[in-house]
Amino acid sequence: MSASITLDRAGASTPEGRVLFENLTLSIGAERIGLVGRNGSGKSTLLRLVAGQGEPSSGSIIVSGRVGELAQRWPDDTISLAEALGVTAGLARLARLEAGQGSEEDMAEADWTLEHRIAETLANVDLPERDLTRTIKGFSGGERTRIAVARLWLEAPDILLLDEPTNNLDAPGRAAILALIDEWRGAAIVASHDRDLLEHVDRIVELTPVGVTVFSGGWSEFAAARDARRAAATDALDRAEGDLKRVKDQVQLQREMKARKDAAGKAGRAKAGQSKMMLDFKQDRAEASQGAANRLADRQLSEANEALDKAKARFEILVPLNVVAPSVGLPSQKLVLHFEDVTVEVGGRKLFGPLSFKVVGPERIHIAGQNGSGKSTLLSLITGARQPGSGSIRRLDGRIAMLDQHADTLDPALTLLENMRIANPELDDNAAYAGLARFAFRNKKAHQVVGTLSGGERLRAAMSCLLAASEPPQLLLLDEPTNHLDIDSIEVIEDAMRSYDGALIVVSHDPDFIANVGCTREIRL
């Protein structure tokens, strides 16, 4: 069966009635579609609707073909590898036939290539595992993802649905996902913030509050078109602001001219000795004329303000925030961190080491390694939260801070301003507001409760609290900061980190983020 997905003016809303997207018309054949948009724009909802899990709030979605989804978690980690691969029944059927106990149904449905296909598929995803009875509990997160990829290859559905498939994946896991997308010959829809992955799709569908847009090509083509739209939105805002100023100036000038003319006319009429009836008539006519002029001026001002509001709304949706980190004053030759022959043991086995390296001045370092290699443990050693098994560590005590994807330094029950004051009690109100404003939390936004923020906003808020300190950190550690963030939020964090003039150590599997924040050294565990 040839795969096809047809969306005809499809829309979706939240249970509370908030519109996620609407009027999405799209026909998908044997191609790869990238799905992008800010968190909460409806990407996961659209995937669920295509999978048949619910109905659109408007329009229709027609799916032809078997749908397969990437399993990103299993409810029970005691299941066997064979169960995770979905081959238990097929292997049992072959076993019955080989033992001479099979039925006619077994004979008709037997896949005599199954064992060979399992071995070949596991090898292709870099998992040459032969013991299919082994429970998945013993596999790392990245290995489990590769198991899920192998299951899709074995099931061979017509339509592939992937929801943020590269989150938390190491290099082998990412490679398995990219190979799956590159080699897939059916239809595929991939919701992702991974810009490297999005280079591998044929078209990109963007869901935004101002509409749904379809772009031909991968991420590079999409980014070029998006930047052009952002430039157009910026120009439109500039024009709207200029138009409003021009209307205000014209209205003010007309009113001043009218006032001078009225004053001159009144003086002239007084000298001419005209009758009271004539003077009243001229005054009524002047007042009527002034009323019409005022109504025209009010309409022009209203139209200009309305145009400006629309331009601002579109600008705020399309154009990312401008965030600049304050200077932390790190000298270029200052020793920030020194590891000398450091080793770590976990459960009696050596996790890594001996490890030796230095960080001098505002260096930018990427910590690389497969899942389970000890990257988070290394960050704990750097902060002093954990001690090494052997070796020595010299660090900038008190000038090191760690930021992870959860922004755990914030109290979700308190406002941004309250969190800022707790983190930096030495700041007065003006300085606290200024610290938040530097990271685009201005005016009323400073009083928003942290628990209501998006993931990207929480990370940005945590950065603002860290960097507003009277002695801000000169070494910042980032632990998988881009997981679960949308692309716009990632780019805001990248801008902030590019302007940060301290040292940076980054744990991330996102190659674009690593490059964009300027990492020039790599430490591989």
Bridge partners of residue 400, in order along the sequence? 475
Residue 283 lies in a domain: yes
Question: Among 179, 213, 232, 187, which Cα is nearest to 37's?
Answer: 213
2: amino acid identity, one letter = S
Domain that holds residue 80: 4-218
* Boundary of a domain, candidates 186, 218, 250: 218
Tell me which residue has tokens 């150590």.
505
pLDDT of residue 308: 75
Q: Quote helix, strand, coil % in the chain, to nearest 5.
A: 45, 20, 30
- Same-domain pairing of 212 and 280: no
Residue 249 lies in a domain: yes
Residue 323 lies in a domain: no
- Residues of the chain with pLDDT below 50 are none
Residue 46 lies in a domain: yes
pLDDT for 183-233, tens place per residue? 998 999 999 999 999 999 999 999 877 778 889 999 999 888 888 877 887
pLDDT of residue 284: 56
CA distances from 416 to 99, 446, 456 (A): 68, 5, 14
Q: Report yes or no: 65 and 187 within 8 Å, Cβ to Cβ.
A: yes
Distance CA 324, CA 460 (A): 11
- Same-domain pairing of 23 and 94: yes
Q: Report yes or no: 522 and 366 within 8 Å, Cβ to Cβ.
A: yes
- Same-domain pairing of 404 and 277: no
- Same-domain pairing of 231 and 349: no
What sign has the CA pseudo-torsion 392, 396, 401, 404? negative
- Same-domain pairing of 432 and 380: yes
* Boundary of a domain, candidates 198, 218, 238: 218
Q: Report yes or no: 459 and 323 within 8 Å, Cβ to Cβ.
A: no
- Same-domain pairing of 344 and 371: yes
Residue 49 lies in a domain: yes
* Boundary of a domain, candidates 164, 186, 218: 218
- Same-domain pairing of 431 and 448: yes
pLDDT of residue 491: 86
Distance CA 113, CA 122 (A): 14
pLDDT of residue 274: 57
pLDDT of residue 239: 82
Q: What SS3 state is found at 407?
A: coil
Distance CA 395, CA 382 (A): 7
Q: What SS3 state is found at 18?
A: coil
Give the ranges where 35-170 is alpha helix by DSSP (H): 43-50, 81-85, 88-98, 104-109, 114-124, 141-155
- Same-domain pairing of 448 and 506: yes
pLDDT of residue 293: 64
Residue 330 lies in a domain: no
Q: Report yes or no: 348 and 360 within 8 Å, Cβ to Cβ.
A: no
- Same-domain pairing of 187 and 242: no
Residue 19 lies in a domain: yes
Distance CA 39, CA 487 (A): 9
Q: Report yes or no: 7 and 55 within 8 Å, Cβ to Cβ.
A: no
- Same-domain pairing of 377 and 513: yes
Tally of domains in the chain: 3
DSSP letter for each residue of 224-286: HHHHHHHHHHHHHHHHHHHHHHHHHHHHHHHHHHHHHHHHHHHHHHHHHT--HHHHHHHHHHH
Tell me which residue has tokens 């950190």.
473
DSSP letter for each residue of 311-325: HHHHHHHHSPP---P
What are the tokens at 406?
């959860």
Residue 324 lies in a domain: no
- Same-domain pairing of 453 and 508: yes
- Same-domain pairing of 346 and 487: yes
Where residue 516 sits, what CATH number does that domain have? Answer: 3.40.50.300
> What angle (nearest 5°) sits at the alpha carbon of residue 376, between those of residues 372 and 379?
150
